Structure 1
Amino acid sequence: MDLLNAEGYEFARQVLQRGIAAVYLIAFISAANQFPALLGEHGLLPAPRYLARTAGRGIPTLFRWHYSDRFLRAVAWTGAAVAALLVAGLPQSGPPWLPMLAFLLLFGLYLSIVSIGQTFYGFGWESLLLEAGFLAAFLGSNEAAPPVTILFLFRWLVFRLEFGAGLIKMRGDRVWRDLTALYYHHETQPMPNPASWWFHHLPKPLHKAEVLGNHFAQLVVPLFLFFPQPVAGVAALIVIITQLWLILSGNFAWLHVLTVLLAFSAVADSNLQALLTGAAFSTPPAEATPVWFAVVVLAVTLLMLNWAWEPLRNLFSKNQLMNASFNRWHLSNAYGAFGSITRSRNEVVIEGTLDEPGPDAQWREYEFKGKPGDPGRMPHQFAPYHLRLDWLMWFLALGASGGSWFPVLLQKLLDGDRRTLALLRTDPFAGTPPRWVRARVYRYRFSTAAERRADGVWWVREPAGFLIDPVRRIVP
């Protein structure tokens, strides 16, 4: 079965296996830290209620038989431990079945979480991580070269991710077509990072050049991932550079980090040796791929090719779907992001008071960890860690329905719920429940350079009304 081996891609395999495992490690830690408060037994959208409503629908999750916050944490920390072993490369040093079982365990555990995560796990990069982890299971171990078909399935994944994102932009909003999207994007993106202010203030001609470069990187370059070397390696390098630029300019959980890792599937050892003069890369022993493993790889390849039809058809559909899964296992997916760009930024600010509502009431703001609040606070870097509540607050400010979880959040704050408060940056009442809370809407914009020098502020905001008038605790 030597024909299955992709000689000269050992570095690519190491990056894929260890890198994908590192993202799983972050994802499981995030679940252990946030899931109980968001979706636990007493969360904003309790998973047990969701499981009761969806009984009999065949949702692929371990929690179908039992859910408790303790069991959720056990699942998350088990996944984190296995992921850490893969990051260290320990399973990969054994026979190919060992890393295969380890990655399939990560896939199954995380699928169990995503499947009951509801709107808090409704992001395209959840499917991306699941699909990447499933493919990584069949990269083999250090005993033989990685299978060529699996490397090409990784390239097909990168192609869908990038080409799909490029098409959704061209179809979705004229600002991508007239090259003005970055006049707004850095200021209105879900969660700006410390560099976003600087990116926003770059000259407008450079913004147009960035958008043009993005179209080239997403609509032209991915086609060359399937070419022979060194063309495929050059295409991968362009993808990696553009993704690093996006990582520098915003917080997008692990989306761009994972895309960088996946692009290494097209980077051969010879590409790196050409870039890094004198570099040498170790290769695995010249052992043939075990017949049983080759049969498994070929079966998985055929399965994934069978599932490729729906995502392929979606790419060329007038009604292209963005971030959609065509099966419940999240192994046949459509990707894409920011098909439309908002031109202005609204933020929902939650306030509480110990007084009775009125002109003399003193209202104090709750600060979130990642989303803008205090105009004088510099945006922070959180990615690849995913602040799920902060992201949902961004969608809420865009007009998305928060009817299922936002009123519950306000009641949790009125109760002084410690788990909920742990999701926030500050509690203005230091553990004492407020008597009333309300939700205001502000229009935010980045400060100008002159305003930054004069007032030390990163944002300038003005009131834009109320989302929720003052409410008080509901006594059962």
Structure 2
Amino acid sequence: MEWFSSSGYWLGRLIFQRGLAALYLVAFAGAALQFRALIGERGMLPVPRYLAGVPWRRAPTLFRAHYSDRFFACCAWGGAALSAALAAGLADLVPLGAAMALWVVPWVLYLSIVNVGQTWYAFGWESLLLEAGFLAVFLGNDRVAPPLLVLLLLRWVLFRVEFGAGLIKMRGDACWRKLTCLYYHHETQPMPGPLSWFFHWLPRPLHRVEAGANHVTQLVVPVLLFTPQPVATGAACLMILTQLWLVLSGNFAWLNWITILLAVTAVDFSPLRTPPSTSGAPLWYEVLVIALTVFVLARSYQPARNLLSPRQAMNRTYDPLHLVNAYGAFGSVGRIRHEIVVEGTADPVPREDATWLAYEFRGKPGDPRHWPHQFAPYHLRLDWLMWFAAISPAYAGSWFGGLMERLLTGDRDTLRLLRRSPFPPESPPLYVRARLYRYRFTTWSELRDTGSCWDRTYIREFLGPTHLVASRGQSR
């Protein structure tokens, strides 16, 4: 069928598939390197305990059949290896059916991880990776031209990401309507990047222009994705530029990168490069794509209804397979940044004048002189949850005690998640505590005089001095 495909999008498909495979690689590698302390058999939120209390229909996963840390590591590193092969073009070297099967494997593996990840994996970009990864199964390879229906479904994903984020801002914090949210956002965002300090100190009129441009990009431009070319290409390019601006200004895991890849699929590259010749799509493939389209449109009812609802939910999935989801970000923007600083002491009495030494995290602010680094698209899960915990202790209820216990025992897997531990694993502290500070970016003159990008002020105790208690009730 002539309407079924268009060779003009072959380069966009190539970039999307290779880029998506690279993001899969980052996600799998992050899971393999961090899971033992977070959800491993001896982790803060162990997978076996979670699965024992959750029915299959709520969390379908390969780990229902078997769980061990070794098996999880095999799945994660196996997914990383296959993703690397897909990024190198493996799917274009095999027949169409085999290529589709290859794309199914990382989707199943990562779905299995997300569905046991609990609060560590409760982020919108997990669902976004799974939704895009599911559609990638049906996008074909070099043997056939890209199917237009799947390309349109990818635009529908992009529309929900951008339009959902735009609506939730307009319905949420009044500072978005007043164009003042970016007075604070670069300083209070979850994990600032190396340029965030400079973005924060841009002139306030420019911040207002940023906010206004954001509304245009998220509320007007997404509609143009469904218009004829070259308008759709122009809309996609505007989205790409906006997302690159966000990449420079902060660390949001792979959210911005996958949004860029989705936008690339709407770009018609045919004026720039002649598409290669492809054979016609087989009938079974056309039937599968049409069935997929009908299925996704049927499943889109709740996400579409959510967009229209005055009680719009942010980053919500409507089924355990994460097939069609609702997205959105930063409906509210904090004016003040709070950070939890975790400290330990080897002194036998945890007095205020004891020698308290701070643990330093990889991404979240700690030492005021330590300049933020770029980690995205890699996701530092503990650092992100520490940001949420500083907003409210309710976010820390299920895992924070486990973190403190592992610091007191010198757990090596936990210490590997940190940038620096003042206590080696063989000599853990006798006591740990957590203190809440207010952080703000220093001014230009303060940076010049002190060399510190942050200034912090003590607020209160988050958790008082805590130690291990032996089974007979005696302190260690």
TM-score under structure 1 normalisation?
A: 0.97
State the secondary structure of the residue aligned to 2:396.
coil
Establish whether residue 451 from structure 1 lines up as the match of residue 446 from structure 2: yes
**In the alignment, which residue of structure 2 is the partner of 1:81?**
81
Mapping for residues 319-468 of structure 1, pairs under 5 Å: 319-355=311-347, 356-399=349-392, 400-431=394-425, 432-468=427-463
Question: C-alpha distance in 2, partners of 1:294/1:350?
Answer: 56
State the secondary structure of the residue aligned to 1:442.
strand
Shift of the 338–468 alpha-carbon distance from structure 1 to 2, 3 Å rule, reads same
Task: After superposing the two structures, state which structure 1 stretch, 166-175 or 58-67, moved more.
Answer: 58-67
Task: After superposing the two structures, state which structure 1 stretch, 412-421 or 78-87, moved more.
Answer: 78-87
Match of 2:281 among 278, 285, 289: 289
**1:263 Cα shift?**
0.3
Question: C-alpha distance in 1, partners of 2:191/2:56?
Answer: 37
State the secondary structure of the residue aligned to 1:139.
coil
Question: C-alpha distance in 1, partners of 2:103/2:56?
Answer: 28
Deviations 1:11-52 (Å, cap 9, x if unpaired)? Answer: 111011111111000000000000111000000101110001
Question: C-alpha distance in 1, partners of 2:225/2:449?
Answer: 49
Q: What amino acid maps onto 1:375 in structure 2? A: P
RMSD, aligned CA: 1.0
Mapping for residues 260-339 of structure 1, pairs under 5 Å: 260-270=260-270, 273=272, 280-281=273-274, 283-339=275-331
**Contact 1:144 1:284 survives alignment (8 Å):** no
**In the alignment, which residue of structure 2 is the partner of 1:475?**
470
Shift of the 99–56 alpha-carbon distance from structure 1 to 2, 3 Å rule, reads closer
Shift of the 4–388 alpha-carbon distance from structure 1 to 2, 3 Å rule, reads same
Question: C-alpha distance in 1, partners of 2:442/2:270?
Answer: 47
Shift of the 323–12 alpha-carbon distance from structure 1 to 2, 3 Å rule, reads same
Question: C-alpha distance in 2, partners of 1:120/1:113?
Answer: 11
Question: C-alpha distance in 1, partners of 2:332/2:429?
Answer: 38
Question: C-alpha distance in 2, partners of 1:457/1:327?
Answer: 46
Question: C-alpha distance in 1, partners of 2:470/2:46?
Answer: 19
Question: C-alpha distance in 2, partners of 1:415/1:286?
Answer: 60
**Contact 2:385 2:395 survives alignment (8 Å):** no
Question: C-alpha distance in 2, partners of 1:56/1:305?
Answer: 25
Deviations 1:363-408 (Å, cap 9, x if unpaired)? Answer: 0000000000000000011000000000000000000431210011
Establish whether residue 244 from structure 1 lines up as the match of residue 237 from structure 2: no
**Contact 2:432 2:466 survives alignment (8 Å):** yes
Question: C-alpha distance in 2, partners of 1:411/1:58?
Answer: 30
**Contact 1:86 1:99 survives alignment (8 Å):** no
**In the alignment, which residue of structure 2 is the partner of 1:27?**
27
**In the alignment, which residue of structure 1 is the partner of 2:173?**
173
Q: What amino acid maps onto 2:412 in structure 1? A: R
State the secondary structure of the residue aligned to 1:19.
helix
Question: C-alpha distance in 1, partners of 2:63/2:398?
Answer: 21
Q: What amino acid maps onto 2:127 in structure 1? A: S
Establish whether residue 64 from structure 1 lines up as the match of residue 64 from structure 2: yes
**1:265 Cα shift?**
1.3
Question: C-alpha distance in 1, partners of 2:4/2:298?
Answer: 19
Deviations 1:107-129 (Å, cap 9, x if unpaired)? Answer: 11000000010000000000000
**1:58 Cα shift?**
4.9
Question: C-alpha distance in 2, partners of 1:127/1:43?
Answer: 23
Off by >4 Å, runs of 4+ in structure 1: none
Question: C-alpha distance in 1, partners of 2:296/2:15?
Answer: 22
Question: C-alpha distance in 1, partners of 2:113/2:194?
Answer: 31
Question: C-alpha distance in 1, partners of 2:235/2:58?
Answer: 40
**1:54 Cα shift?**
1.0
State the secondary structure of the residue aligned to 1:270.
coil
**Contact 2:410 2:424 survives alignment (8 Å):** no
**Contact 1:239 1:263 survives alignment (8 Å):** yes
Question: C-alpha distance in 1, partners of 2:258/2:71?
Answer: 28
State the secondary structure of the residue aligned to 1:233.
helix
**Contact 1:2 1:288 survives alignment (8 Å):** no
Q: What amino acid maps onto 2:360 in structure 1? A: E
Give the count of matched residue pairs.
468
State the secondary structure of the residue aligned to 1:445.
strand
Question: C-alpha distance in 2, partners of 1:359/1:303?
Answer: 62
Q: What amino acid maps onto 1:287 in structure 2? A: S
Question: C-alpha distance in 2, partners of 1:158/1:150?
Answer: 12
**1:56 Cα shift?**
4.7
**In the alignment, which residue of structure 1 is the partner of 2:227?**
227
**1:336 Cα shift?**
0.3
State the secondary structure of the residue aligned to 2:8.
coil
Q: Quote the sequence identity (%).
A: 57
Question: C-alpha distance in 2, partners of 1:32/1:307?
Answer: 32
